[in-house]
Structure 1
Amino acid sequence: MSVTHQDEQRAELSRALVRTATGDRRALEEVYNRTSAKLFGVCLRILSDRSEAEDVLQEVYLTVWRKADQFDPDRASPITWLSTLARNRAIDRLRSSGRREARPLDEATEIADEQPSAFDGLSSTQDAQLLNRCMDQLEDKHRAAVRTAFFDGLTYDELARAASVPLGTMKGWIRRSLMKLRVCLES
């Protein structure tokens, strides 16, 4: 089986993260140069504030510097690991600022969003293409709940209230959706 350009890029990024874990500043610079635009998109999508997103992005790379040894290429692709760090850091910032407004999930289809989504920022990667194909296999309301939970940072309780369903129902939707995604992504 031939190695694709994307596979080689993923391998190079993984190697740079491993070198970062050893204290290699040039490796961190390489990681930053390869991923900062995508991670900034994730942060901006969640925070909707450029200055806040820039601050969070800086925190993300400080975390990468300190915790690169926690990256395991056998468990996740490097961009998935980095995107998760960015997403979680942005959600933490959003929650600490108290700037959250929950709206019914049904409204999401009617609201025009001019900003590129985190999915759009990752669309050039093979992982994102596969994830999008797998997400398309979910029911619309389940797909919307997963996207809202993971890219807008709403809690299960907030999602349940916004969708006007019991909390247990929302947890079930998310859990079953994640299981379906895992099966799809692993096949």
Structure 2
Amino acid sequence: MEKPEDLQLYEQLRSGDKASLEALYDKYEKLLYSFAYKMVRDPGAAEEVVQEVMIKLWRGIGDYAADKGKFSSWLLTITRNTAIDYLRKQKRVKSEEVHQEFDTADTQQSVEELVEWKEQGDRLRQAMKHLKHEQQVIIEMFYFKGYSQRMIADEVDIPLGTVKGRIRLALKNLRNQLYQERGDLQ
């Protein structure tokens, strides 16, 4: 029997169905754990992050919109934010660096997940090459090193509003670039 699609499971979860939460956990636990582990560098902390993500799902914190992207990408964003919150609580965010790629030797993901993750990373790196240098620097600090917007403003010595504007513009440019590449492939 084939498992229900992510959207169907999500809708059932929103209705209070515990079995759908279990199904989503079973489906995404390894991916979320690997991603969280790369950020927090501690097995116990990575497990805590995954558990917190599942609690957020159960409590309905945040809304998934299918027209804005894949469910797995949305889950990874929640995981990223939860891991950064964890690191901030541990006062280690400045010393921790988020690594963009997985090391296949220390993950338990399936080959398909690793290939998909690598392909997405490659597409993102290619799209980032089209950004202006100052946008690349800020995106690197914000998304891959886990810096807050305030920390970036202090580090780069520019106003907070400028950081916010550059992030917003860079994300818009990345979205357009990725959309163009996807259109070229079709």
Normalising by structure 2, what TM-score? Answer: 0.71
More relative contact order, 1 or 2 (CA 8 Å, 6+ apart): 1
In structure 1, distance between residues paired with 2:77 and 2:148: 16
* Aligned AA (2:116): S
Partner amino acid, structure 1, of 2:138: A
Once the two structures are superposed, the pairs formed by residues 86-101 of structure 1 within 5 Å of their partners are 86-101=79-94
Which of the numbers 23, 27, 31 marks the counterpart of 1:34? 27
Q: Is the 8 A contact 1:91 1:152 kept in 2?
A: no
What displacement does 1:114 show? 10
Counterpart in 1 of 2:116? 124
1:43 aligns with 2:56: no
Aligned-partner Cα distance in 2 for 1:59–1:19: 19
1:16·1:30 contact (CA, 8 Å) conserved in 2? yes
Distance 2:14 2:121 in 1: 26
> Deviations for 1:55-99, whole angstroms, at most 9, x for unmatched residues?
111111111122178222123320121112111111111112222
Q: CA deviation at 1:18?
A: 1.6
Q: CA deviation at 1:180?
A: 0.3
Between the two proteins, what is the percent identity of the paired residues? Answer: 27
Question: CA-atom RMSD, angstroms?
Answer: 3.3
Provide the aligned length of Structure 1 versus Structure 2. Answer: 166
**DSSP-derived class of the 1:70 partner:** coil
Deviations 1:143-186 (A, max 9, x none): 34213312432112322333x34135534432321120122244
Equivalence for 1:166: 158
Gaps of 5+ in 2: 104-112, 181-186
Are the counterparts in 1 of residues 64 and 74 from structure 2 also a CA contact under 8 Å? yes
CA distance in 1, matches of 2:164, 2:102: 27
